[in-house]
A and B are shown apart, each in its own frame.
Chain A
Amino acid sequence: MSTKHSIAAARFIANRKQEAWHDETLWMVRVKRDKMSHSLPEWERLRELACDIKMYSNSHLDTLLEEFEKNAIANGAIVHWAKDAKEHNEIVEKILQQHNAHTLIKSKSMLTEECGMNEYLFSKGYDIVESDLGERILQWMHLHPSHIVMPAIHIKRQEVGEMMERVLGTEKGNSDPTYLTHAVRKNMREKFLTADVAMTGANFAVASTGEIVVCTNEGNADMGTSFPKVHIATFGMEKIVPNQEALGVFTRLLARSGTGQPITSYTSHYRKPQDGGEFHLIIVDNGRSDILAKPDHIRTLNCIRCGECMNTCPVYRRTGGYSYTYFIPGPIGINLGMLKNPEEYSDNVSACSLCLSCSNVCPVKIDLGEQIYRWRQDLDKIGKASSEKKVMSGGMKFLMERPALFNTALKFAPLVNKSPRFMIYNGLNAWGKGRELPTFAKESFNDMWKKNKIQKP
């Protein structure tokens, strides 16, 4: 039984050159992260603190969110609460209606992806313009992000160049990234200046001040919010941090982990509406409060969406973001998908070698790999365990519990080395797919031990 992940991964892998490029490029980002983390002697302490702060804030969401709301209102902001994606999208639509708005300029937000907001608003006749370069490229190509921080990492410059020839009339055959970026800059200027309403996500919401913090390299969130009178900022409720002191910890970890920079170009604090403007804040639950009731998985709420678990994951790097069935790929996406709907997203849990590299680099110490392991143990309960692997495992259990039979089987194991391929590499052996089995040794460890052939070192 192939999972949806392995089927989609096979398509990605079919282009060997692209796969190798994807793998190497993301590994390069991981290496940059290592350089950054090694330059700070306090790195591990920072991770510890970040985790402890998140464990505190996510177990005090009720009081911190109310504190945030009180302070935000005092700052002149308008605060909305959305139970789910539907309510979130309707709140945004209502604000657009109130202002007779047609065009919404947006900076990158995984939450609006989660809520399917763009599709919803498009269907109601609104125009949504993504302002992050990667997101803009995807929007032109009618694609979704394949990575949460580097959304267009799977697309080659030639493809971008060819697309821009069509939509922007750039020079034929010119795929120079500087040339293409500046062509978009020119096109986006006009969009920034003419949009009706601006929307951003938030990396952090600070309870003690009622402000939100948005981190970008492009400055697109800041440009976007500089012209329209209305700014809507939306965030999942786990983005709350108690105070600015906590920001000192997170702003040191976020970009170092995600892209290997000491900080993003812009770390912007939005506290009050601009003169004569409106500042709307939407606090979104959409399943997050349910995660609180699952102590084994509660740490997924620590996530600051840096993307580092994707960059380090050997499976993600070699199979690409589109191989996963949840909109967030990689180790964190596997877990969030299972928390959203285990029946629907269980195909992703096999996309993990349990190497635990993700758990070791996560800046907020989410036990990503360990949680994936736990989900796998539960697959049978939800009727999603692979039937052939169950047969195999059942056979192994039978064998392991019967030492005499096991030893006899082992004696005959080397015969497999000489067996015709069709007997080993067939539909019944899931472990024979896409990999070569090792050859069995002539003599088993047990026999060698008994004949005193094992020497102490």
Chain B
Amino acid sequence: MSSKESILSRIRSHTGTRYEQPEITLDAIHYEDKTGQFSESLKAAGGAAVVLQAGEDINELIRKHFPDAKRIASNLSEITCATFDPDSVSDPRELNNTDLAIVEGCFGVAENGAVWITQQVKHKALYFISTGLVILINKEDLVNNMHEAYKRVEGTDYKYGFFVSGPSKTADIEQALVFGAHGPMNVLVILR
């Protein structure tokens, strides 16, 4: 008998009461001002959100927030401040020492400041290896909570997708909060 068969047969013989699948019904939190709540949640997680104003240039806005960034990666056509296309490198290791990556997200979650991103770049390393990360989302693409978030994710196809809420962080030394454990030290979400 294969390990799979022996495990499954143990499960079958040991399972007693079979509990029913619950219907997931609840009054989940929602916010009158989703943008304000998203921004506040993201700030608490160590990131920042800005709304692109009418007539404002997105590239200038990015440069204003990251004046020292020299090596800037993006495969988005609207991002003209990028210095290279990360999809043009064959080895993800070549992305090391990227100062800033500018990527697109699907939507944001007001209750926790997270953005859902599905892999839209050749190397997923880009999302983590860069010192700064800018995520663009449409300003109407905000949901209240994780229940609504997964409703939007359901049925979509992706190789790899992730919720990201602020920069990489750790508190493993004496519970002292430090940003930039391994991944981005700064995360800016632009609602456009």
Q: Which residues of A contact B (CB under 8 A)?
A: 25, 28-29, 40-42, 45-46, 49, 52-53, 55-56, 59-62, 65-66, 69, 81-83, 87, 131-134, 137, 150-153, 156-157, 160, 177-178, 180-182, 185, 188-189, 192-193, 217-220, 222-223, 225-227, 237, 242-249, 251-252, 259, 261-275, 283, 285, 289-290, 292-293, 295, 298
Contacts and interface: CB of A to CB of B under 8 A. Distances in A.
A32 to B, nearest CB: 10
Interface string B15-51: 1111111101011110000000000010011000000
Contacts of B107: none
Contacts, number: 244
B113 interface: yes
B186 to A, nearest CB: 13
Interface in B132-174: 145-147, 149-151, 153-154, 158-174
B172 A134 contact: yes
Contacts of B176: 157, 177-178
Contact of A56 (B20, B123, B161): B20
Given A59-B17, A271-B159, A295-B16, A263 B29 contact: no
B7 interface: yes
A62 B15 contact: yes
B111 A49 contact: no
From A160, A274, A283, residue with most partner B Cβ within 10 Å: A274
11 contacts: A178-B176, A181-B178, A217-B171, A223-B182, A226-B128, A248-B149, A252-B147, A261-B45, A262-B45, A262-B112, A263-B163
A217 B169 CA distance: 5
Interface string B76-105: 000000000000000011001000000000
A271 B151 CA distance: 17
Given A83-B3, A180-B173, A218-B168, A270 B160 contact: yes
Nearest to B176: A177
A83 B26 CA distance: 38
Given A56-B20, A193-B96, A133 B181 contact: yes
A66 B11 CA distance: 12
Nearest to A267: B163
A244 B3 contact: no
A248 B109 CA distance: 12
B64 interface: no
A83 B128 CA distance: 35
Nearest to B168: A219
Contact of B170 (A41, A217, A285, A298): A217
Contact of A177 (B3, B145, B146, B173): B173
B14 A290 contact: yes
Interface residues of B, number: 75
Tell me the interface secondary structure of chain B in the complex: loop
A177 B45 contact: no
B181 A218 contact: yes
B27 A42 contact: yes
Contacts of B122: 275
A137 B8 CA distance: 38
B65 interface: no
A217 B171 CA distance: 9
B10 A285 contact: yes
Contacts of B172: 132-134, 137, 150-152, 181
Given A41-B29, A178-B178, A263 B170 contact: no
B14 A289 contact: yes
A272 B180 contact: no
Given A46-B26, A152-B173, A218-B183, A227 B7 contact: no
Contacts of B12: 62
A268 B160 contact: yes
A203 B71 CA distance: 35
A271 B26 CA distance: 28
B28 to A, nearest CB: 6
A263 B164 CA distance: 9
Contacts of A285: 7, 10
B146 A252 contact: yes
A56 B186 CA distance: 41
